[in-house]
Chain A
Amino acid sequence: MRLRSSVALVSLAVLTAPSLAAQSGSAQMTGTVMTAITVTGSDLKFGTVLKTQTKTIAPAAGGRFVITLAANTNVTIDYVLPATLGPNVALSAWGALYNTVNDPNSALFVPIFTNTGTYTTLTPTGSMYIWIGATLTTTNAAVGSYSQPIRLTLTYN
């Protein structure tokens, strides 16, 4: 008897399944359209240097990143700076200026102690300006042209 009553219960469950399939439910789905981040830049030019020389380009006169993004939104900035431009052409003493307007004179100086790193910031204007300078040291370097990329990646938090 017990066995038969159990079978009956299972049958009931199978029979009620079609009525569940007919029910409806809803879930709210939302998305936020973010302002696309744009990053443009100008090169950090040391110009001509002698085979053995030290030359410093101040951030205000150095390379510049111009960034547009959503205002008042936290963003993470990952940077990668080269340690050298080539054999015996070393880079050091990196420094940056940061501003939300295109004015290095009123910008905030940001020392850079490592060649890779991360900052988190936001801008009320939707614009960021970053100027980058460094010191180049040649030590009996071979004559020629040298260059290496400076990369900045911005990600909305």
Chain B
Amino acid sequence: MVCLTSRLPGFVVAALLAAPAARAQTGSFTAQARVVSALAVAATSDLAFGQITPTGAKTVAPTTGGRFRIAGTRGQPVSVSFALPANLGAPAVAVGSWAGLANTRNRTNGAAAFVPSAAPASFTLSAGNGRLFLWLGATVTTTGAPSGTYSAPVTVTVVYN
């Protein structure tokens, strides 16, 4: 047997040895999913500008502005986007210069500043309890606005990444 093998041409020996490895191949990848709890978003405080003159400007900082509380699965990244009004129901009562703060704890100390916009921004829910708090501030500018009460909704949309 040894004698026979040594007399075979080299390429035949190589083929016989290599054939088992080349003949079959297994590939494997995974099907994967992450189960998360439903997101809950609550507006816990309105952005209230209070009283303002018919023509004037008033800024409310995020630390004293509106607040949203978000709850979901711990440590999960989420995308947050806003639908922000351009005015409070009348062109003479414009609102802009939006500013935001975000924190996984319910306090503005140590919160990260961000600029709210319609473009999704990524945040991560608290690794401890799945919470995220957002504060919003803005500047309202009146230009000969009639006396009255004005309001407009601010909508936040949160989705898991």
Chain A: residues with CB nearer than 8 A to chain B? 29-51, 55, 63, 65, 67, 81-82, 85, 89, 91, 134, 136, 138, 141-156
Tell me whether A36 and B31 are in contact (CB under 8 A).
Answer: no
Chain B: residues with CB nearer than 8 A to chain A? 8, 11-12, 14-16, 18-19, 21-38, 73, 76, 160-161
Question: In the complex, A55→B160 CA distance in Å?
Answer: 14
B-side contacts of A29, CB under 8 Å: 8, 12
Residue of A nearest to B24 (CB): A155
10 A-B pairs closest in CB distance? A39-B27, A31-B15, A41-B29, A46-B33, A37-B25, A147-B32, A155-B24, A48-B160, A36-B22, A153-B26
Question: In the complex, A154→B30 CA distance in Å?
Answer: 18
Secondary structure of the A side of the interface? strand
Question: In the complex, A32→B12 CA distance in Å?
Answer: 8
Q: Specify which of A51, A85, A148, A151 is in contact with B26 (CB 8 Å cutoff).
A: A151
Residue of B nearest to A68 (CB): B25
Q: A136-B31, A148-B30, A151-B26 are in contact. List 10 more A-B contacts (CB 8 A).
A: A29-B12, A33-B19, A34-B23, A42-B29, A49-B33, A91-B31, A138-B33, A143-B37, A144-B35, A151-B28
Q: Specify which of B12, B16, B25 is in contact with A36 (CB 8 Å cutoff).
A: B25
Q: Specify which of A35, A47, A155 is in contact with B33 (CB 8 Å cutoff).
A: A47
